[in-house]
Amino acid sequence: MSTATHPQTAAPRHARTGALLLPLLFTAALACLTALPAGHQNRKVLWSFTGACALLCAWNIALLPGIRGRERTLTVELFPKKQHYIQACAQAAVFLYWGWYWRPVYAFAPLILAQLLFAYAFDMLVGWSRRDNYTLGFAQFPVVFSINLFLWFRPDWFYLQFVMVGLGLAAKDLIRWNKNGRRTHIFNPSSFPLAALSLILLATGRSGITWGQDIAATQFYPPQMYLMLFLIGLPGQFFFGVTSMTMSAVVAAYAFGRIYFGMTGIYFFYDSYIPIAVFLGMHLLFTDPSTSPRTELGRIIYGALYGLSTVALYEFLGRAGMPTFYDKLLQVPVLNLSVKAIDAAARSRWLRALDPAVLGRSLLPRQRNFAYMSIWAVVFGLLSSAHALDDNHPGQWLPFWRQACQDGRAYACPYLADVETNFCDRGSAWACNEAGLMHIALSRSGEDLRRLDPAGAAKPLRRGCELGSAAACQNLQVLTTGSGSFAAPPPALDDYPIILRGSKGDIRERDPAALAARACREGWVTEVVVGQASACGGL
């Protein structure tokens, strides 16, 4: 930092303020993005861009008098941190792979670039508003990428993306404490705005203005997404020693899921032991080394708390009738605030003996990191082989839930009705008929408060009739007239590409033999495509 005070050594006025051209360049680049279709096709997106540019320009102008009057000299220091660009590369890999199987990600890319340009200009202006020196690197990339891996606002509300980015960067610079003898930020700069906006959305009941649910669901579309996240997390784990946080979070959530399954016969998260979006958060959201505990035992505790808090939030949000995709976002700032207490507990005489660092005192930091990674690789391999972290979890397929419903498992029948309704909306006439019949059954049992009126079954049955299901037409008449019996035929060939997809993306396979084989693998043993029973070994 330098401040000129003597007339003979004072920096020229243009030198003192010339650095302000840098945020103006980023602002100009942001303005240029309005020429792209993503920047001007929706008028409210265009206004969001315009408002962001106006704010940055006004801030630039407002800084000029103070800099000239106080003879401040603004400087820029180039200092790219490995922590930032390694994490940014991992996040970019997720976008590329996810977007290949869900193309709205690629369509949203120009809007992510806009947030990145805004982040650089905003961060510079925040920095120069408080000090003379600004450190230029890649810090903005992981902040913007992390925000956009979990929450997008729809076009009419896109300006809130800029609000999230600005809030995160401002919190990083303004909300700080002394930690381990140095002044540092308290909150993870991406998780803080995600949690803050999530709370506002929940309080106002406006989650529908986001793509949050779609993001959480479609991140499972790519094949072997768990393996992909495991692999892209390895470089950061090797260099920054965050493996223990990820591993303990995964193990804690999985252990709870196994206990829950043993007690109830169904899966807590329904279609997985650990939802893919939660698994992503366990790798690339809460593991920021700057805002996590320093002790190795503290990091294990921190990770376990994250894993168990996702469980608690999922249960709380579900019971409250709120969207559950916030389960990996809300708790991170609270965990950030607890890191000093966690480290203090880990150093206490009661827990000090449990610290893994005691066993690895002879190892260098990178050697310890590699040891943790080796253990994590074994754990991941075991969980994958048990179908806990792969594409073949049985909870995503209808046969499991049909059997669980028949067995009288709690929550199984309402969830089955939800899945069948979803498949009905996607165009399966068979699923529409089944959803209607399940609605009628639930109205009689009273198990689902959303389906107490049997007349509500008319909607899926009518949809099934329109799609060509004779059984749905018959059942609609029975429901309306009160006479006759309900029919429940097996799925037709046209239904299988829809009802076999589970929680993955669309099935493009149309060959009857291949569909029958897939049906058998998923448990449709007695209802395979007619003429293809040999695919199930002759059953």
Nearest to residue 437, comparing CAs of 460, 407, 465, 406? 460
Please report whether residue 333 resides in a domain.
yes
Cα separation, 373 vs 244, whole angstroms: 8
Give the pLDDT score at 70: 74
Lowest mean pLDDT segment, chosen from 7-16, 394-403, 497-506:
7-16
Q: Is the predicted pLDDT of residue 8 greater than 50, yes or no?
A: no
CB distance 162 to 144 below 8 Å = no
Domain count across the chain: 3
Please report whether residue 120 resides in a domain.
yes
Whether residue 183 sits in one domain with residue 50: yes
Confidence category of residue 537, pLDDT binned at 50, 70, 90: low
**Distances from the Cα of 93 to the Cα of 67, 87, 134, 149, angstroms:** 41, 10, 29, 11
In this prediction, what percent of the chain has a pLDDT beyond 90? 80
Hey, what amino acid is at 496?
Answer: Y
Whether residue 108 sits in one domain with residue 15: yes
Q: Is the predicted pLDDT of residue 417 greater than 70, yes or no?
A: yes
Of 393, 422, 450, the residue that ends a domain is 393
From the CB of residue 152, how many other CB atoms can be counted at a distance below 10 Å?
A: 22
Lowest mean pLDDT segment, chosen from 25-34, 101-110, 514-523:
514-523
Please report whether residue 195 resides in a domain.
no
From the CB of residue 449, how many other CB atoms can be counted at a distance below 10 Å?
A: 9
Whether residue 179 sits in one domain with residue 229: no
> What are the tens digits of pLDDT across the range 336-346?
999 999 999 99
Nearest to residue 36, comparing CAs of 146, 139, 151, 114? 114
Q: Is the predicted pLDDT of residue 71 greater than 80, yes or no?
A: no
Give the pLDDT score at 13: 45
* Element containing residue 381 per DSSP (H, E): helix 365-385
Please report whether residue 219 resides in a domain.
no
Report, as an integer, the average pLDDT of 155-180. 96
CB distance 245 to 287 below 8 Å = yes
Tell me the two tokens of residue 468. Answer: 């060509």
Cα separation, 167 vs 129, whole angstroms: 16
Tell me the two tokens of residue 365. Answer: 């930091």
pLDDT, averaged across the chain: 92
Report, as an integer, the average pLDDT of 14-37. 86
Whether residue 157 sits in one domain with residue 38: yes
Helical pair 276-284 and 225-240, crossing angle rounded to 10 deg: 10
Phi/psi of residue 347, nearest 5 degrees:
-90, -5
Lowest mean pLDDT segment, chosen from 198-202, 230-234, 410-414, 534-538:
534-538
From the CB of residue 479, how many other CB atoms can be counted at a distance below 10 Å?
A: 20
Whether residue 410 sits in one domain with residue 343: no
Report, as an integer, the average pLDDT of 363-371. 88
Residue with tokens 């004072």: 10
Of 377, 393, 409, the residue that ends a domain is 393
Strands (DSSP E) found in 70-159: 75-78, 133-136
Read off the pTM: 0.92
Confidence category of residue 2, pLDDT binned at 50, 70, 90: very low
Whether residue 429 sits in one domain with residue 475: yes
Nearest to residue 410, comparing CAs of 437, 386, 445? 445
Please report whether residue 196 resides in a domain.
no
Give the pLDDT score at 262: 96
**Distances from the Cα of 295 to the Cα of 285, 307, 310, 518, angstroms:** 19, 18, 23, 48
Domain span at residue 268?
Answer: 224-393
> What are the tens digits of pLDDT across the range 441-483?
999 999 999 999 999 999 999 999 999 999 999 999 999 999 8
Give the pLDDT score at 3: 39
Confidence category of residue 529, pLDDT binned at 50, 70, 90: low
Whether residue 334 sits in one domain with residue 306: yes
> What are the tens digits of pLDDT across the range 96-147?
999 999 999 999 999 999 999 999 999 999 999 999 899 999 999 999 999 9
Cβ contacts of 394 within 8 Å, gap of 6 or more: 387, 400, 523
- What are the DSSP calls for 11-73, one per residue? PPHHHHHGGGHHHHHHHHHHHHGGGSHHHHSSHHHHHHHHHHHHHHHHHHHHHHHHHHHTTB-
> Which long-range contacts does 267-270 make (Cβ < 8 Å, 24+ apart)?
267/393, 267/395, 268/311, 268/314, 269/314, 269/395, 270/395, 270/415
Lowest mean pLDDT segment, chosen from 274-283, 351-360, 381-390:
351-360
Q: Is the predicted pLDDT of residue 489 greater than 90, yes or no?
A: yes
Give the pLDDT score at 272: 96
Cα separation, 129 vs 122, whole angstroms: 11
